[in-house]
A = this chain, B = another copy of it.
Amino acid sequence: MKFHNKEAIYLQIVEMVCEKILTRQWGAGEKIPSVRELAVSIEVNPNTVLRAYGFLQEKEIVQIKRGVGYFVSKGAFGATLAFMKTKFLENDLPLFFRSIRLLGIDFDDLQARFELLEESDERNENK
């Protein structure tokens, strides 16, 4: 897995897990990779994975069963959606709007880019 430097790696792992849940790749009650497994597969220090899992546990998105592993918790989908939506609306959106206005970016242009992206992804899915 590739990480960018603008955000802590553990938060990028958190995002990855959230994405799995929101896209229904990981369903409620399902076991997720063990700390060590994931650490090896994404080439990261186990401590870093642990921190991500701990963070997710706090948000009640995953839960731990001692000696067994981490599992997607029951209300995970809702909790994830709520958590990310709040983050988005409160933090990202205002900054985003500010940038758009400062840079004089046309909203319609963005929409066009967005739709272009959607189409290209649909093509990829059909492959």
Binding site for B on A (CB under 8 A): 5-6, 8-9, 18-19, 22-23, 45, 58, 64, 66-67, 81, 84-85, 88, 91-93, 95-97, 99-103, 105, 107, 110-111, 113-114, 117-118
Contacts and interface: CB of A to CB of B under 8 A. Distances in A.
Contact of A96 (B81, B96, B101): B96
B96 A84 contact: no
Interface centre among A58, A99, A105, A111 (most CB of B within 10 A): A99
Given A91-B6, A96-B92, A114 B107 contact: yes
A96 B5 CA distance: 17
Contacts of A102: 18-19, 22-23, 84
23 contacts: A5-B66, A6-B91, A8-B66, A9-B66, A18-B102, A22-B102, A22-B103, A23-B102, A45-B67, A58-B58, A81-B103, A84-B99, A85-B105, A88-B103, A92-B95, A92-B96, A92-B99, A93-B113, A96-B96, A97-B114, A97-B117, A100-B114, A101-B118
Given A84-B103, A93-B110, 19 more contacts: A5-B64, A5-B66, A6-B91, A8-B66, A9-B66, A19-B102, A22-B102, A23-B102, A45-B67, A58-B58, A81-B103, A84-B102, A88-B103, A88-B105, A92-B99, A96-B96, A97-B113, A97-B117, A107-B114
